[in-house]
Amino acid sequence: SSELTQDPAVSVALGQTVRITCQGDSLRSYYASWYQQKPGQAPVLVVYGKNNRPSGIPDRFSGSSSGNTASLTITGAQAEDEADYHCNSRDSSGHQLEVFGGGTKVTVL
Amino acid sequence: QLQLQESGSGLVKPSQTLSLTCAVSGGSISSGGYSWSWIRQPPGKGLEWIGYIYHSGSTYYNPSLESRVTISMDRSNNQFSLKLSSVTAADTAVYYCARATTVVTGCWFDPWGQGILVTVSS
């Protein structure tokens, strides 16, 4: 099976840029998808595929990938971006399995 | 707009079977190109994929849960279900249903239901 590793927490000053990373072998073969989760709420998809955003997601959210690392970048972080962010990818074992990272808590200062 | 809503028992005794249903509105679960998923989140922890069922009826499960999990589809009522047998306290979590889009380059889950807290306790 595959594992995805995320930093537990990061902080960013209001209006600045923050990059959230997700590491795992499966990311060499598959794109990550990213989810924002606010306290007491269900996760919401913010980025998927190479760098796609669902309708309604601000363009300050962007995704990228290099080697075994996928990144979610928030450019010009807003107070409402304070949340947990989870990455997800297909397992690299060849079986159709999905895995999630442990999540990153983003604090906007 | 597609919407998903979980329902079922919020309290299950140890060793019994957890049963949840996800009602889908605004779209058909028989539509091709998607699968219908269950994901859970223990209190204070990360997300764990449980499994999904394709519109064809094919199922895929997390190997760590496969021996206890069954996901099924009820096309006539446009809903799908989760059964998890022999539960323990470790199965206490918020359970989410979600639509999955799976392509050659990966998978994503959108939209999600609001989630239902299931507590395993005697």
pLDDT, tens digit only, all 109 positions of chain A:
458 999 999 999 999 999 999 999 999 999 999 999 999 999 999 999 999 999 999 999 999 999 999 999 999 999 999 999 999 999 877 677 999 999 999 999 9
Query: With an 8 Å Cβ cutoff, are A86 and B46 in contact?
Result: yes
- Using a pLDDT cut of 70, give the percent of chain B over it: 100
Counting one residue from chain A and one from chain B, the pairs whose CB atoms sit within 8 A come to 75
Concatenating the DSSP letter of every residue in B22-50 gives EEEESS-TT-TT-EEEEEEE-TTS--EEE
Residue of higher predicted confidence among A94 and B118: B118
Spell out where A1-109 has E strands: 5-6, 9-12, 18-23, 33-37, 44-47, 61-66, 69-74, 83-90, 98-100, 104-108
- Using a pLDDT cut of 90, give the percent of chain B over it: 92
> In this predicted model, what pLDDT tens digit does every residue of B53-83 receive, in sequence order?
998 899 999 999 999 999 999 999 999 999 9
Query: With an 8 Å Cβ cutoff, are B47 and A42 in contact?
Result: no
| Residue of chain B nearest A33, judged by CA positions | B108
Closest partner CB to B108 (pick from A48, A97, A101): A48
